[in-house]
Every structure is written in structure tokens, then in C-alpha cells.
Amino acid sequence: MARKQRFREDDDAAIDMTPMLDIVFIMLIFFIVTTSFVKEAGIDVLKPKAAQASSKPSANIFIAIRANGEVWMDKSAVDIERVGARLESMLAEQPTDIVIIQADEDAKHGVVVEVMDAIKAAGIDKISIAAEKK
């Protein structure tokens, strides 16, 4: 006697979602690891205007200098003596070859030069000073 197999209506075909979820999580981890994060200075300064200002390649580290001489890195104020140490720790997290200084147009030249010296001491040779185009 041959038996006929009958499918019941309550038997649902299920798709295993586990491999797809594994792939999505692996892609998410890949994109998080490969994303570059920009270390903003954290303040807005009134940049000087320059007729010959040109756009440079974007950098990951910004250092802002206020008119009163305050130096800002990674959204917090930093003593001028600690700029080099803070920069080295930021470079350990995310290596880069360029740093952009956003100095206020009324910032003292001496403070800007001290920050540039600290950047050079940290091993970065490419320094750009931000300016607005006239």
C-alpha cells in the first residue's frame, strides 16, 4: 500500500536568517573599523581672509587658537605646553600626515608659532593654516 504524503497548511517553509545576520554584522564591523574619524577642534574661530586661499586635502586633526591665546584640540582646551603630548596621543589613535591650524585672525603670532613647533616635534611636517577666501 502506497502512502501519500500530504502537506498540511500549518507547515510553513522557514528561511534561516542566521547567515544573513552574520554577514550584516561583519560588514558593520568592517565599516566601523575602516572609517576615519575627524578630530575637530571644537570651537569656531574668525579665520583671516586671504585672496589666494586654496582648498587643501582634508585632515583628521584640527587645532584651534582663539584670539586670547587659548588652544583647543578635540573639543577641549589644552595648555600650550601639552599640545605636543596631546597630539602624539591623537596620532597613536589615528595616524595622519597633515594637521590644520585654525587660528583666529586676532591670535598672537607667538602662540601660533609655538603650536607649529609642537606639531613639528610630534613628527608632522605638513601644517596648514585655515583661512577664508575673500
**pLDDT digits 0-9 by tens, 78-106:** 998 898 899 888 888 888 888 889 888 88
Measured between alpha carbons, how far is 61 from 65 in angstroms, rounded to an integer?
13
Quickly tell me which residue has 591650524 as its cell: 101
* All domains in the chain, ordered by first residue: 49-133 (3.30.420.270)
DSSP code string of the chain: -PPPP---TT-------HHHHHHHHHHHHHHHHHPPPPB--SS---PPEETT-------SEEEEE-TTS-EEETTEEE-GGGHHHHHHHHHHHS--SEEEEEE-TTS-HHHHHHHHHHHHHTT--EEEE--EE-
- pLDDT tens for 9-45 read 555 667 788 888 999 999 999 888 877 666 666 676 7
Assessment of whether the complete model's pTM goes beyond 0.85? no
